[in-house]
Amino acid sequence: MASLSDKLFKRGSDFLGVKYPIICGAMTWVSEPKLVSVVSNAGGFGCLAGGNTPPEILKRQVEETKKLTKNPFGVNVITIAPAYRQHLELLPDLKLPYVIFAGGFPDKKEIQTAKDTGAKVICFASTDSIAKRMVRYGADAIMLEGMEAGGHVGHVSLVVLLQQVLFEINEVPVFVAGGLATGKLCAHMLLMGASGVQLGTRFAMAEECLAHPKFKQKFIQANARDAIATPQFDSRLPVVAVRALKNKGMEEFSKLQLSLLKQLEEGTVNRNEAQHKVEEYWMGALRKAVQDGDIDYGSLMAGQSVGLINKSETVELIIKDLTTGIETELQNVKKILD
């Protein structure tokens, strides 16, 4: 049976330098050198999570990943992380093939800073206006992420973003993310023009992922509706929504927001300091869940696709299942159209 996948994979595969344009999204405390390298060695594209990692540790992780795989991988830098400026300054030393801006949206100068190191730049977009702005600013590719995703998210569903952005932007590759878990749906993303797909929650369940067994078990037990996005209480404290499984840690975040708003009123903190405290909370809470197995007060960041995942399996099997599912669905579509 002739492969139909290769043609639809081509643009994304050529851009990323990989066999399959299947991206393992960067997840703080989860996407470390082992998981990233295993994904890249299996023909996908792994992303090392910058998060709020101290620069010297991030540099060590990049070096370790390069030893574990000779294939391309990316590093994401979180624009709203307290260590963001340090990460930008570190980029020339890291000599990365790909830099991914996430969390917020970089300005033109920051994108150019990354490109000046020789890296290709991928920028997240959660609205049509942001996607177009990132292209104007020089992004080499767009990661179009719907609100169904886990971690930091926007407020527009992928279904709408596909129509607003994927159907309108062709000058750079557009990868899509948010709610994806099966090869069948990924096939239709490619048919609609996506250059590739990104999955996070499913790869967090990989056997090679170092996340605590309690963290993974919580994912297996969860339904899609259990992955909720945090609200913003007041515009004086703009916070990027975070999607995670509801637990006591989510309640603690609500209390933190109220406390910070009171401190803003009293003038004991400024908005920038308050926003940094928010990010520090999420980084710490995520570490509690992923490393310590604290499923009550830790942050269980997960996309709504968690409702589609009921087991842990190897990265090799995940990618095989996705690619087989993609090819099978493309063949089914071909039969319908012939």
Confidence tier at 2 by pLDDT (50, 70, 90): low
At residue 188, does pLDDT exceed 70? yes
Residue 95's CB is within 10 A of a number of other CB atoms, namely 11
194: left (phi over 0), alpha (psi -120 to 50) or beta: beta
Q: Is the pLDDT of residue 270 over 80?
A: yes
The overall average pLDDT reported for the chain is: 95
Residues 6+ positions from 235 with CB-CB distance below 8 Å: none
Read off the pLDDT of residues 79-113 as tens digits, 9 standing for 90 and up.
Answer: 988 899 999 999 999 999 999 999 889 999 999 99
pLDDT for the residue 275? 87
Measured at the alpha carbon of residue 132, what is the angle toward residues 78 and 242, in degrees to the nearest 5? 35
For the whole model, what pTM was predicted?
Answer: 0.94
Reply yes or no on domain 5-211+307-333 having CATH 3.30.390.10. no
What percent of the chain is predicted at pLDDT more than 90?
A: 89
| CB 220, CB 311: distance < 8 Å | yes
Quick one: average pLDDT of 174-178? 98
Burial 173-202 (b: 16+ CB within 10 A, else e): bbbbbbbbbbbebbbebbeebbbbbbbbbb
Domain ranges of the chain: 5-211+307-333, 222-292
